[in-house]
Amino acid sequence: MAQAEIGLIGLGVMGSNLALNIAEKGNRIAVFNRTPEATRKFYAEAGALQGQIVPCETIEDFVAAIRPPRPIIIMIKAGDPVDQQMELLKPHLEANDIMIDAGNANFRDTMRRFDALKDSGLTFIGMGVSGGEEGARHGPSIMVGGKEASWKRVEPVLTSIAAKYNGVPCVAWLGENGAGHFVKTIHNGIEYADMQMIAEIYGILRDGLKMGATEIGEVFGEWNKGRLNSYLIEITETVLKAADPITGRPIVDLILDKAGQKGTGKWSVIEAQNMGVPATAIEAAVAARSISSVKSEREAAEQVLGLPNVGEFKVIDRASFLKDLESALLAAKIGAYAQGFAVMAQASREFNWNLPMPTIAKIWRAGCIIRSQFLDEITTAFTKDPNIANLIVTPAFSAMVKESDGALRRVVSAAALGGLPVPALASALGYFDSYRRARGTANVIQAQRDFFGAHGFDRIDGADAHHGPWGSGLNA
């Protein structure tokens, strides 16, 4: 019997779908799960794809079933379970075999695992996979980090299963060690911001304009035909129009307003802060999810504080305001993407990855959650200048920001005056206003710091740096 081209451990929903995708694309795959019953069930339900699948019930049989050097995808819960699975695998592997973590791993764990294997003869890949269950089954966006030789071994399989955009596979090798998982982390951070901004616009339509879910869905459907065309706008229309089969009411009206999170958004914020790169839209989105989770506290606070006493939310020209909402969302999304790419650019410098920015934008155009129309424009911008300081100063995006930030300002103002929370939209506006202002206000902060302790400060007239005579104190 011919050996499998690749192996996969972990037949949960994501692992099963990815294995079926691999098999369907003509690749022979060996599969293993710690519970043999799951392996048998998966194989029994594989139908016509059984001929491409080698089900294994022991680690020994599993490893023997794969052609050396053996690439083995580990698709299990992130964290300690991955380390434990790697330890179980190692005694059975040979030089140049490749362990591939395809979960939502912290890139620092990936770097640690990469380093731990460097003298063992084994190699490691940290592989970000975006697209959820549907993407895993029919074509995800795949972000690979590891040795280039390891990438070459798995490239034919991964290219075959990746999503395609105009025939181009949405998969790429992005650099060594944690590069792939870092890019996936920032992808998810942008996703957090995008989803929060959409939710805030929904809140304005629901609580400000008093529109019902289905009507709001129609608005998002119209927007999806234009510049906001994206997967998240598309599914927002779908969920807003979906009816509960029991009551017939919009399903979104019956869903508790508590949003969960798995950690990647928080990791994005932590790494941005560590590197000193502002990612305010992502920060606002992560904080908003945290606030959403304290439902009982919010209910108690409303009893004590009440809602803002602002009167009726008034819009003079409804059609014009809807256009403003569309443009405001576009502007805010640009801010979120610009921040995400700025974080990746700084990480590329700090970790010596040489991240290919045009390629990242290209592989996000299909298969992934944040796929959207203007990723083509991001690709073009980085192709023209891979070292641009920020997307919002490129010709295409500066024009879009200039065109739409007035609408963002009006929407944020209307929401604030109407007592409607829009933390992510407001953060995007604040980011634009701060980034575009040559003379900011940090001079007074530096003066305060100098007062606390003789730090000194740079002068705008170029004269020698001055140290305040006010004594030493707290280093702020």
Kindly state the tokens that stand for 444: 């007074």
Per-residue model confidence as pLDDT tens for the chain (476 residues): 689 999 999 999 999 999 999 999 999 999 999 999 999 999 999 999 999 999 999 999 999 999 999 999 999 998 999 999 999 999 999 999 999 999 999 999 999 999 999 889 999 999 999 999 999 999 999 999 999 999 999 999 999 999 999 999 999 999 999 999 999 999 999 999 999 999 999 999 999 999 999 999 999 999 999 999 999 999 999 999 999 999 999 999 999 999 888 788 999 999 999 999 999 999 999 999 999 999 999 999 999 999 988 877 888 899 999 999 999 999 999 999 999 999 999 999 999 999 999 999 999 999 999 888 889 999 999 999 988 989 999 999 999 999 999 999 999 999 999 999 999 999 999 999 999 999 999 888 888 877 766 556 666 666 665 555 544 444 45
Known catalytic membership, residue 184: yes
The CA distance from 179 to 391, in Å, is 21
Q: Which backbone phi and psi does 125 adopt, to 5 degrees? A: -130, 130
The answer to whether 191 is a known catalytic residue is yes
Q: Determine which one of 5, 147, 184, 271 is catalytic.
A: 184
CA distance 261 to 266: 9
377 vs 465: CA distance, rounded Å: 43
User: From CA 32, how far away is CA 81, in angstroms rounded?
Assistant: 15
Residues for the chain: how many in total? 476
Choosing from 5, 147, 176, 191, the catalytic residue is 191
Distance in angstroms (rounded) separating the CA atoms of residues 51 and 471: 79
Tell how many helices (H) and how many strands (E) occur in the chain. Answer: 19, 10
Q: Cβ(116)–Cβ(157) under 8 Å? A: no
CB of 58 closer than 8 Å to CB of 85 = no
For CA atoms 97, 99, 102, 108, give the dihedral sign: negative
Query: Is the separation of the CB atoms in 52 and 81 below 8 Å?
Result: no
Whether the Cβ atoms of residue 49 and residue 17 lie closer than 8 Å to each other: no
For 402-441, the DSSP string reads HHHHHHHHHHHHHHHHTT---HHHHHHHHHHHHHT-SS-S
* Cα 331 to Cα 326: distance, rounded to the nearest angstrom: 9
Give first-to-last CA distance, the chain, whole Å: 68
**b/e burial code for range 83-122 (CB count within 10 A of at least 16 → b):** eebbeebeeebeeebbbbbbbbbbbbbbbebbeebeeeeb
